[in-house]
Chain A
Amino acid sequence: MRKLYDYFKKTGFLLAVCCLLTSSSIWAQSQYTFNGTVTENGTNAPLSGASVFIDGTSFGTISDFDGNYSFTATLEQGSVTLSISSLGFTTQEILIDLSSQTITTNVVLVEDLLSLDEVVVTGNPVGVNKRTLGNAISSVKSEDLVNNGAIAVDQAISGKITGALVQQNSGDPAGGISIRLRGPSTVLGNSDPLYIVDGIIISNSSNSNDLVDLGGTSQNRLVDLNPNDIERIEIIKGAAAAAIYGSRASNGVVQIFTKKGRTGAPKFNFSTNVRVNELRKEIDYNTVPLAWVDPFDRTNLETVPVERFNLQDEFFESGFGIENFLSVSGGNEKTSYYISGSFLDNEGIIKNTDFQRIGFKTNITQKAWDWLEINAGLNYTRSVSNDIPNGGINAAYGAITGFVFSDNSINPNPDESGVYPVTSLLVPRTNPLEAVDRFDFGQKVNRVITSIGLNAKITDKLSANYLLGLDFFNQSATAFIPINNTSPNGDGFARRADINNFQYNSDLNLAYQTPITEDIESTTTLGGSWQYEEFDRVAIEADGLAPVVEVASDGSILAQGETRSQISYWGSFLQQSFSYKDRLYLNGAIRLDGASTFGEDERNQLYAKASLSYIISEEDFWKNTFGNAFNTFKLRGSWGQAGNLTALSAFQRFTTLNPSSINGTPSLIPGTQQGDLDIAPERQEEIEFGFDAGLLNNRIGIEFTYYKQDVTDLLLPRELAPSTGFGSRIENVGDLENEGIEILLRGAPIKTNDFSWDVTATFSQNENVVTRVAGGGQFALAGSFATSFVIEGEPLGVFFRQFYARDPDGSISLDADGFPFRGTTDDGESSKVIGDPNPDWFGSLINEFAYKNFKLRIQLDAVQGFDVFNWNRRLLDNVIFGGGFNVGQELLGNRPKGFGGAQAGIFEEFVEDGSFVKLRELAFSYDFKPPIKGIENVQLSLVGRNLISWDDYSGWDPEINTAGQSNGVRGFDFAGVPIPRTYQLGVNVSF
């Protein structure tokens, strides 16, 4: 921290020096007013939010709700280019002669379904037109991030991007979400993309599970960002595009841009909404009013009458939520600002759970001189959650864990003295009602994300930008189970754990753009980056608590621990692009990268990329032949390399001795895992190619991409001969592959003055194979009850366990007593691959209808061809626990007593097809301008999220992963909270 302090001190000083030494020149200037209206081609509807700017200056504004714009600019005499752009429309550039003081220009923008003219910066330090890129890039605009019932950015983009599998792992009010771009690219690390917000590399860690075990689920820290503050998101999905991010980019890059102010009077935006979250469906349970006298004896069919309870009623309930958001933005020629404040409170469908987020966001841009712009961003968030533990990969105290083990013939309600009955008779598991009533778990996060940036246009050809970005959070988690309870922690449990996470990046990029000949233009970019991240974690855990007191220091200490980590990364790159006549673009880059985690000799790694984009439709021959039908056709291809560091912790390369003690003397004992001083990052090499096509006067747009990723030097635990003195060593000894296609289809079938209909469909298919696992060929992933495996030649995380013995016709064999039994393979093995949690394909269909001021948006998401391991059913249907539907069937004599118990040892039974189609978003809105002065627009909206799911899954919801954001353990349903159905009513006022 000292270093940073010095840094600020010195930077401040240096900046002051800069300022003093700089003199701005004076030209002959006068003031002009620009105004006009922007409308949409076809419908002639006013287009709000279009940006109207004078090229090469910061003069400009955005159009209001009636499509009108107006701004003044101080300019030299002559002519200027007015550039009018809006996401989803072809940018128009209009040459304007500065002949009068007021210039009125009405503009009609044409819809551009391929967004070829969109300016993107991800993968390129200076903004480039999307048409120049040799790789696919996806973007999401602000309207698509709000009014959809989602509370977090990753949740909101679900289904909106090809190649991005967004999986919500838990239905908790801030349940964790995994995003995988083009499949998993590591085994031991995580496959999360690199998240960059306004140039700041931010943490999306999912560490709450390390702090306090909520049953496997944990929040991921992207939840601290408010989707309302976001202007747009750009996503690149693999090494081919991401090479300039080097050693951290093999999972792709998600670049988030927050809203900035625009020249003009302050514009206010206020929105408020209320919501209801509810359980979408209840699972069937045992309603038969009988119980076995001896559940263990298959031959004893004697029963006694009992009352059965619906335990799901006891811990699920509808949750309510409220969200308020206020922003103001504006500015003058020199300064622009964006300020927002927000409050969210979202209750979960498990009793006594909620998530609260308070956020403040400020973006300021100051034009120091014509050539230098300074911008600063500050984002403070406080996220607080009240949690109830559920799921149980390591911890067994969860509410739903209690439910799946419970015999529902026991009334779960407490007696007169408040004592909750034990509902799990065989093993100590919590009475679920007691868990939601008495347990007190929670997390608090205080987070600051801030940056200072400089953009300099040094000459017409040379520009530079510098950014210092900083992300700090403290996360504090607590767990409290009072004494005298039904959980496995009968004498109470308290834990407190904190993490302080700090990271910054300091980036400088220089770009030199120059024409070489009349037709060829060159852009050279040189960049350097320094990045650092550290965390300190402490925890204390106790049992044997005194009554009432909740702090861990009060009980008898079970465990205490502290961990510290520091990593630095450094890198520099050179990128060269050439463009020929706006139709052919060539791009190559090379990056040298280092990180403190690698072995000394592997410190500096080289990554390269090359790409080509060819807009054939610009050629005359094309225009003359297919031109009418295929009015836009772009071919693109690219190749690139990137690294992945997530499998490597700060000090992983060392062989360490663990501290211990005996007889009061300190000792050190070597761990069984040996370090590897030559450890290197995992590397990805990707090739992708595809095309963008616009048909029928751009009424239909198609994007197609094929890609193949080869990840080599995969870090795996390599088994060692015990005669080395160790058991294993993490080494670069694996390979994996991802191969797939992505298709995006956009169409505007109907576009009239009053009515329009837009359709977007996405389709993504990825095939993942772990192609090499040195030293053994397979191993079980931690945290999967030894069920999810890494097996050479199979996709990551396949389920590998016992299966049914089958008759020659494929039906399940039954023994003499009518019970199924386990099979063996031809090799005599009792386990085989019984399921794959990776989907065959996923996609979405979005229909948007607009009739006058009414809008209807319907989004269907599909994830098909993946398996879910239903651990819940394995327990519920076992007669020795007694709460499941099939135990009732056994009691009724519809299947043999103990059938579910026989199945419990045959894991194949519980691997279910998770394929689903969900009505993800249904949004209906109405815009109007009330006759109140000053109010520009009011929007009323009614939104539904996750309203319907079409699936054959027997559990609550196949979209679940109790292993949380785990990379390899997927499709794991063990007492996790299902994703709720949400209804939301909102009002948005602009003034």
Chain B
Amino acid sequence: MKNSIIYFIICVSLTLGLFSCETDFDNPNAATEDQVFSSREGIFAAAVGLQQLYSTTGIRWIVETPAITTREGGITTTFQNMIELEDGGTALPNFNSNVQGLWSTMLRVIKIAEDIEANAATIDLDPGTQSGLVAHAKLFKALAIGSLAQNYEQVIVETSNENDASFVTRVQGFENAITLLTEAAAQISGTAPSSEFINGVTLGNIDLSNTITAYTARYNLFAGNYDAAIAAANSVDLTSTSIFAYDTQNQNPIWARIIQNDAPNFKPRDNFGLPVEFVFDSADGRLAFYLVPLDETNQNGLPIEDVAGFFNEITEPIPVYLPDEMNLIIAEANLRAGSPDLAAATAALNEVLTDTDDPFEVNANVAAYSGDNTVDALLNEVYRNRRAELLFTGMSLEDSRRFGRPQPSGAAMNFAEERNRNFYPYPDLERNSNPNTPDDPSI
């Protein structure tokens, strides 16, 4: 009897013991952060994902939001977020989904870039691959910060998991982006990106070196570093092209907003949305390149056109930057420099005006500049050309402010205003949890 008891207890404890082992299971459904950023395949896929998020969702917010605010586009929908944007003024809500979407998506991009940058060094990778991944992450982080600084008065340049990220001024934001780009340039000039990186991430679509330099020029201009802007712009190879490529699952985001399902959310404005004092030669190739004439006004009486250019096909690639932006940067920087160089500015401007061999076929192909040889007149001409050459590149709000276009009144639904906001308010989502969120801009 006694033995049997002992054996009974042994049996049962053994059977129990057999089970008590597995308490940790791998998740086969999705990759965890740790798994992704500790493996070569993982970090590659995250780099592709970074570019994918920026070029799809990111580009949508970057382009669409300021385009409505500065009248590059007129809304053709009853969706509340678009109505609020076109109404503008102080009434623009902090929860507007464009205001939130632009802010949140750029910060997601920054977060992924940070993770790649932090972990690329800890994974055993070919030096060229590592260099490519780091430079690529820094580039996209700079693009995201730059896109925020173009639209918000203060920006975040580093994420924080504790809901306490700190804000810097937008100029500091640009400086931060420039630093990142400088580091990225140094990275790839030290160790060229491997073919493994190029074949796995940029797929030959993005020329890292020229893109980094081009954006260095752009942000130096915005930050007021004119010499640096000119130097960078001059060193960009204008025959090189870099594009965001799309497929049917990852559609051209502007096509998706303007053309898809025959349900446009907005359309480009007549005259690139500029007031009548800016006159375009009807032969200006950029009119035909970007716009398809349409004799219609939108619901708020703004005349609108149909879209062409880089936006009228589902998988049409969007340039990462346009080569002639470099000429426009050179022109503007020479005009804004301490001692303006009007000749250099005019020469650069004429490169754009008389262009016939643009790699993206954005050719104005009109007469050279013949207006007044004054800084103001030339700046006006630069602005006119930026709006035409750089339609839907997300820079219109930055440009409108920088060129001192008329201040918005703050009243909503004043559709005659060139822009209805200077900066966007900070999203509620940020303010609810982050105590460092500054006061909203007055307009």
Q: For the complex, what is the distance from the CA of A346 to the CA of B105, rounded to whole Å?
A: 53
Interface status of B159 (Cβ within 8 A of chain A): yes
Interface contacts (Cβ under 8 Å), in number, total 218
Contacts of B52 in A (CB 8 A): 660, 662, 667, 669
Contact of A723 among B36, B53, B159 (CB under 8 A): B159
- Which among A59-67, A104-112, A647-655 touches the partner chain? A647-655
Interface status of A121 (Cβ within 8 A of chain B): no
Contact A23 B27 (CB under 8 A): no
Q: For the complex, what is the distance from the CA of A564 to the CA of B29, rounded to whole Å?
A: 7
Contacts of A672 in B (CB 8 A): 108
Contact of A656 among B1, B32, B165, B427 (CB under 8 A): B32
| A505 and chain B: residue at smallest CB distance | B19
- Which among A8-16, A157-165, A278-286, A810-818 touches the partner chain? A8-16
| A370 and chain B: residue at smallest CB distance | B1
* B59-107 at interface with A (beta carbon < 8 Å): 100, 103-104, 107
* Closest CB in chain B relative to A545 CB, distance in Å: 21
Contacts of B247 in A (CB 8 A): 662-664
| A7 and chain B: residue at smallest CB distance | B18
* Closest CB in chain A relative to B15 CB, distance in Å: 5
* Closest CB in chain B relative to A572 CB, distance in Å: 10
Interface status of B149 (Cβ within 8 A of chain A): no
Contact of B19 among A506, A664, A666, A724 (CB under 8 A): A506
* B382-434 at interface with A (beta carbon < 8 Å): 427, 429-430, 432-434
Q: For the complex, what is the distance from the CA of A724 to the CA of B163, rounded to whole Å?
A: 6
Contact of A15 among B11, B32, B33, B201 (CB under 8 A): B11
Beyond A564-B28, A665-B203, whether A372 also contacts B8 by CB under 8 A is: yes
Beyond A722-B100, A725-B112, whether A530 also contacts B16 by CB under 8 A is: yes
- With a 10 A CB-CB cut-off, give which of A6, A7, A18, A664 has the most chain B CB atoms: A18
Contact of B249 among A661, A726, A727 (CB under 8 A): A661
User: SS class of chain B's interface: helix, strand, loop or mixed?
Assistant: helix
Interface status of A893 (Cβ within 8 A of chain B): no
| A666 and chain B: residue at smallest CB distance | B45
Interface status of A1 (Cβ within 8 A of chain B): no
| B14 and chain A: residue at smallest CB distance | A14
| B165 and chain A: residue at smallest CB distance | A723
* Closest CB in chain B relative to A891 CB, distance in Å: 30
Q: For the complex, what is the distance from the CA of A371 to the CA of B22, rounded to whole Å?
A: 34
Contact A654 B32 (CB under 8 A): yes
Interface status of B344 (Cβ within 8 A of chain A): no
Contacts of A418 in B (CB 8 A): none
* B4-22 at interface with A (beta carbon < 8 Å): 4-5, 7-16, 18-20, 22
Contact of B4 among A21, A468, A664 (CB under 8 A): A21
Interface string of A695-735 (1 = CB under 8 A from B): 00000000000000000000000011111111100000000
Q: For the complex, what is the distance from the CA of A289 to the CA of B317, rounded to whole Å?
A: 58
Contacts of B434 in A (CB 8 A): 721, 723
Contact A651 B29 (CB under 8 A): yes
* Closest CB in chain A relative to B107 CB, distance in Å: 5
* Closest CB in chain A relative to B255 CB, distance in Å: 15
Interface string of A814-828 (1 = CB under 8 A from B): 000000000000000
Contact of A660 among B1, B12, B49, B112 (CB under 8 A): B49
Interface size class of A (residues with CB under 8 A): 35 or more
Q: For the complex, what is the distance from the CA of A820 to the CA of B409, rounded to whole Å?
A: 36
| B431 and chain A: residue at smallest CB distance | A721
* B29-69 at interface with A (beta carbon < 8 Å): 29-33, 36, 42, 45-46, 48-49, 51-53, 55-56
Contact of B25 among A11, A456, A566 (CB under 8 A): A566
Interface status of B250 (Cβ within 8 A of chain A): yes
Contacts of B53 in A (CB 8 A): 669
Contacts of A596 in B (CB 8 A): 22-25
Contact A22 B45 (CB under 8 A): no
Interface status of B110 (Cβ within 8 A of chain A): yes
Contacts of B15 in A (CB 8 A): 7, 10-11, 14, 466, 468, 506
* B217-250 at interface with A (beta carbon < 8 Å): 245-247, 249-250
Contact of B42 among A658, A668, A725 (CB under 8 A): A668
Contact B14 A18 (CB under 8 A): no
Contact of A657 among B25, B28, B46, B205 (CB under 8 A): B46
Beyond A667-B48, A725-B111, whether A568 also contacts B23 by CB under 8 A is: yes
Interface status of B208 (Cβ within 8 A of chain A): no
Beyond A666-B45, A723-B156, whether A18 also contacts B1 by CB under 8 A is: no
Contacts of B11 in A (CB 8 A): 11, 14-15, 17-18
Contact A650 B25 (CB under 8 A): yes
Contacts of B160 in A (CB 8 A): 723-724
Beyond A667-B49, A719-B429, A720-B433, whether A22 also contacts B32 by CB under 8 A is: no
* Closest CB in chain A relative to B158 CB, distance in Å: 9
Interface status of B3 (Cβ within 8 A of chain A): yes
Beyond A371-B4, A654-B33, A659-B30, whether A506 also contacts B16 by CB under 8 A is: yes
Besides the known contacts A654-B30, A726-B111, 16 further A-B residue pairs in the complex with CB atoms under 8 A apart: A21-B4, A371-B1, A458-B8, A564-B28, A568-B25, A658-B30, A659-B45, A663-B205, A668-B46, A670-B112, A719-B432, A721-B432, A721-B437, A722-B427, A722-B430, A724-B160
**What are 6 A-B residue pairs whose CB atoms fall within 8 Å in the complex?**
A567-B25, A656-B31, A660-B49, A665-B203, A725-B107, A725-B161
**Smallest CB-CB A-B distances: 5 pairs:** A725-B111, A723-B165, A656-B30, A22-B4, A667-B48
